[in-house]
Amino acid sequence: MAHTEHLPIYKAAYDFCLYVEQLVRKFPRYHKYAAGQDLRESARAVLKLIVRANSRREKRAVLFQIREEVEALKVLLRLCHDAQAFPNFNAFEHAIRQVTDVARQNEGWLKSQQRSRGQSRSAILDEIAEPSVP
């Protein structure tokens, strides 16, 4: 089994999970148990997918799953912000920046995987735009 602690994307996702745990505690009671639980589960799902991708030889399918989960996480964060679940705007801003950092690193990892397979730049861009999930 591959070790993941050395990966910057793992560190970023782990830090985000910790931040979400602390953040949800500060949510109003109305949002804590529904939206807060969804945020916590989604953040943990991203972390689990990163571990899974790192342990596989063929990583692309899992990297696409990470991309989808991160996008869902962004939507959840925006929903929580609009529903005024965050204690302040700075908390929302910090959370969005962390998720965006994970998304950026995931895209870099995905591109490096596709480059190592010898695909042309246009084929990489086409597949990133429309992933073919096996």
DSSP conformation class of 27: S
DSSP conformation class of 5: T
State the SS3 of 44-109: HHHHHHHHHHHHCCCCHHHHHHHHHHHHHHHHHHHHHHHCCCCCCHHHHHHHHHHHHHHHHHHHHH
- pLDDT score recorded for residue 127: 57
CA 72 – CA 132 distance, rounded (Å): 19
Handedness of CA 67, 39, 10, 62 (dihedral sign): negative
pLDDT by residue for the chain (134 residues), tens only, comes to 467 788 999 999 999 999 999 999 999 999 989 999 999 999 999 999 999 999 999 999 999 999 999 999 999 999 999 999 999 999 999 999 999 999 999 999 999 988 877 655 555 556 556 655 54
Question: Which structural domains are found in the chain, ordered by start?
Answer: 8-129 (1.20.1440.60)
Coil, helix or strand at residue 122: helix
pTM of the full structure: 0.81
